[in-house]
Structure 1
């Protein structure tokens, strides 16, 4: 890939203030895209992402919207449109990365209806309507990249509802690829395994035995880093991936082989 492979493109990254989303935003910005960093609550973290992209001679702006509530997609796109004249001439977008999500859920015996509704609202409903309402803005030849999870193919009953949302997201990806293919728009899922982020810090970084166990699950023998996922997303966002669509790209380092 060229160093500035995404020059002139505009990207929206949800959950872009931390973890995998932060790494994706940084990478897309470094590759030349103007990045809309969407976040839920942590304004300071979002501003840090924007500033880092700008320090690397990129263009970025932050959008605040907490997903999982009715009308969230409309509010997010309204915020995007408000910045469009300055940052995204013509109001269009080329890359939509649905990264925001609730990362865990209770087991079958403990899961409540409210928790079930919440995890599906954030992980499935929000991406669905972000894409639906983004289509008038998404340019022909664009990219939709949904951040899924390795648990969509690896049984983990203790987080069954979370896994179900990622299975739904993968099916959404498949149908988007068929629906939008005539416009040259690709849709793909990226499915990470265990990634060393702040969300996992409590159990992963605090206990060397837990870290070693997590590393042993991957064929490549280590715990994944956010940049590992961001590199795959950058490829899928680029013209080099123009002939890849409707796929779930495994980003687990070979876990569960």
Structure 2
């Protein structure tokens, strides 16, 4: 039987959480440049999300923005129904790629961190990732890909980052277990761990604070802080079929930070 031609193959579809800003937005746009349609989530800024949809459409691809707080598991069933309706409008029943990117920041010493702080981080960075992935598994195609976003802080200990880094460390372990259990479905699961990047995350700390930016540059082999365009293309490339044999890996994208 002849192989299906590229022109006749259905478009790949990604779901990206936190896709309206920062690394998530950059990932959505670079996926569009590679011919991938996206369903992405935003927490509250609909105007910002609609701007990303327009950018994707200008690139000749399709996008849908859905509101979701990834720290509230009780909303996941309704979200999955919204995803199903969006897929149906595109004439398909499933999707190909999941990028668990949405997150919140936290900077405080262990002594100063409250129980609520830890609960909030846990709900978004681990519990939300675990159960949203679980809920979406029936819709992801066999042979698909999952990327979970971690942090360089799981390798390099920086005072004030213990709770955040610990949750990301849990996600890295979860990634390996997902790869093991989803192997029979040929679903590859990897972790991408960015270093310090100039975005509005953490209040724009790396982007807007010259002292912190210089510090990051000085401990990075390539001599500068990261940019969103250093991360989004790498995630998009990792999801592509050329990297189908990469599985259960933690891939740090930091320019050689603290080596």
TM-score normalised over the length of structure 2: 0.93
Report deviation, 1:254. Answer: 0.9
Report deviation, 1:31. Answer: 0.8
The 2-side partners of 1:171 and 1:204 are apart by 27
Provide the residue aligned with 1:73 in structure 2: 76
The 2-side partners of 1:203 and 1:70 are apart by 29
The 2-side partners of 1:149 and 1:206 are apart by 20
Report deviation, 1:132. Answer: 0.6
Q: Equivalent residues in 2 for 1:52-201 (5 A)?
A: 52-87=55-90, 89-200=91-202
The 2-side partners of 1:213 and 1:255 are apart by 11
Q: Equivalent residues in 2 for 1:7-18 (5 A)?
A: 8-18=11-21
Q: Number of paired residues?
A: 252
Cα 1:191–1:106 change in 2 (3 A) is: same
Give yes or no for contact 2:19–2:28 (8 Å, CA) kept in 1. yes
Report deviation, 1:24. Answer: 0.4
Report deviation, 1:16. Answer: 0.3
Task: Render the CA deviation track for 1:88-111: whole Å, top value 9, x for unaligned.
Answer: x33201000000011224220111
Report deviation, 1:146. Answer: 0.4
Report deviation, 1:200. Answer: 4.8
Give yes or no for contact 2:206–2:225 (8 Å, CA) kept in 1. no
Task: Render the CA deviation track for 1:53-85: whole Å, top value 9, x for unaligned.
Answer: 000111111111112123132232122112121
Cα 1:174–1:56 change in 2 (3 A) is: same
Give yes or no for contact 1:68–1:125 (8 Å, CA) kept in 2. yes
The 2-side partners of 1:208 and 1:68 are apart by 32
The 1-side partners of 2:207 and 2:12 are apart by 36
Q: Which runs of 5+ in 1 are unaligned?
A: none
Report deviation, 1:201. Answer: 5.8
Provide the residue aligned with 2:4 in structure 1: none
- Does 40-49 or 210-219 show the bigger shift? 210-219
Give yes or no for contact 1:105–1:115 (8 Å, CA) kept in 2. no
Give yes or no for contact 1:196–1:223 (8 Å, CA) kept in 2. yes
Provide runs of 4+ in structure 1 moved above 4 Å. none
TM-score normalised over the length of structure 1: 0.93
- Does 170-179 or 6-15 show the bigger shift? 6-15
CA RMSD after TM alignment: 1.7
SS at match of 2:105: coil
Report deviation, 1:7. Answer: 6.6
Provide the residue aligned with 2:35 in structure 1: 32
SS at match of 1:97: strand
Provide the residue aligned with 1:209 in structure 2: 211
